[in-house]
Amino acid sequence: MNNSGTATRYGILILLLSYVLRIFSTMGKIIIITIILLFSVHVHAQPYVLVLGTAQDGGYPHIGCRKQCCEQAWNNPDNRRYVVSFAVTDPETKQWWLFEATPDIKEQLQDFYELTRGAYKYLPDGIFISHAHIGHYTGLAQLGREALGAKNVKVYALPKMASFLEQNGPWQQLVRLQNIDIIPVAVNSVTGLTKNIRVQSFTVPHRDEYSETAGFIIHTSQKKYLFIPDIDKWAKWDKDIVKQVQKVDIALLDATFYSADELPGRRMEEVPHPFVKETMKLFSETEEAIRAKIHFIHMNHTNPLIWDSTAQQDLMHAGYKYAIQGMKL
């Protein structure tokens, strides 16, 4: 929410209250208005997450797809979705961090600017990158000399991801020209960003051709968010996903594919992911409050959760949620 918009709204509220408060003494009015102002500052000073993209690496619509799934997005730009990304904001310090530098970074930075009505700097105070697959880091190119020519944007990455960027073009040029400053993050370490926000980085099993693959838990003064956009299968991880979700307030989880029959003509074993159906089965015995934490994200164009309202409603009826671009969490 924007500050001037909030201020106007509270201004009107206070004006209305001042009529109501005529029955109180001057001191009574001051006390009541102070309480309201303190409450409003408290409510709006909490960090939050703003979802900037929900699609798998290829985006939605998907290159070369003329099927029903993408036809509705080619025909109507309102149905298009950007690649998985979100902002973590600290309204108190007016800082923010971007998770993933996607091929859609240009639109996502613009969306963030518009959704927060310019209350934050255009560029984030840092970017966290999960791994070296195209949907998660190639947007960094937009920060380079050919485009923005950014200065010293902090890029947080696990060790292999950090050296991949430092040692390979064109990313290495971004480092050399100091468009970006790589901040290597140790596996299982916690990075303090403000007194309200800390980020815990860990690894998950995935096709690690060029880098390891990170997952994150973002600890804010208000909530804990688990983010695992890509993982091969829950069973391959040394942690129990059900327990991990229990520990947080919101879990943004890999929903690349809904079910096993989604890529006719391609071997699903080449691109393993937990199917949404499998994740739902894993959580089917848990309490409703646990299931309600799960927000499926990173949807491939073939996953009906990104385009089919019936599938979306069925998921909600089963007690789960799906991430929506522009959603505040």
The torsion defined by the Cα of 233, 160, 124 and 294, in degrees rounded to 10, comes to 10
69 binds Zn ion (CB under 5 A): yes
Rounded Cα distance, 205 and 219, in Å: 22
33 binds Zn ion (CB under 5 A): no
> Which of residues 48 and 216 has its CB atom nearest to Zn ion in the complex?
216
Candidate list 49, 51, 52, 70; residue touching Zn ion; CB under 5 A:
70
Q: How far is CA 205 from CA 69, 101, 237, in A?
A: 29, 21, 6
Dihedral sign for Cα atoms in the order 168, 170, 175, 177: positive
Binding mask 269-308 for Zn ion (x = CB under 5 A): --------------------------------x-------
Give strand pairing partners of 322. 296
57 binds Zn ion (CB under 5 A): yes
Angle between helices 26-44 and 3-20 (to 10 degrees): 150
Q: What share of the chain is helix, strand, coil (3-state, %, to 5)?
A: 35, 20, 40
Candidate list 48, 49, 50, 62; residue touching Zn ion; CB under 5 A:
62
> Which of residues 291 and 301 has its CB atom nearest to Zn ion in the complex?
301
Binding mask 119-138 for Zn ion (x = CB under 5 A): --------------x-x---
Show the tokens assigned to 277: 């159906």
Smallest Cα–Cα separation from 87: which of 132, 48, 122, 137?
Answer: 48
- How many residues touch Zn ion under the rule CB under 5 A: the total is 10
- Minimum gap (Å) between residue 84 Cβ and Zn ion: 7
> Which of residues 65 and 148 has its CB atom nearest to Zn ion in the complex?
65
> Which of residues 57 and 111 has its CB atom nearest to Zn ion in the complex?
57
Which residues of this chain interact with Zn ion, rule CB under 5 A?
Answer: 57, 62, 65, 67, 69-70, 133, 135, 230, 301
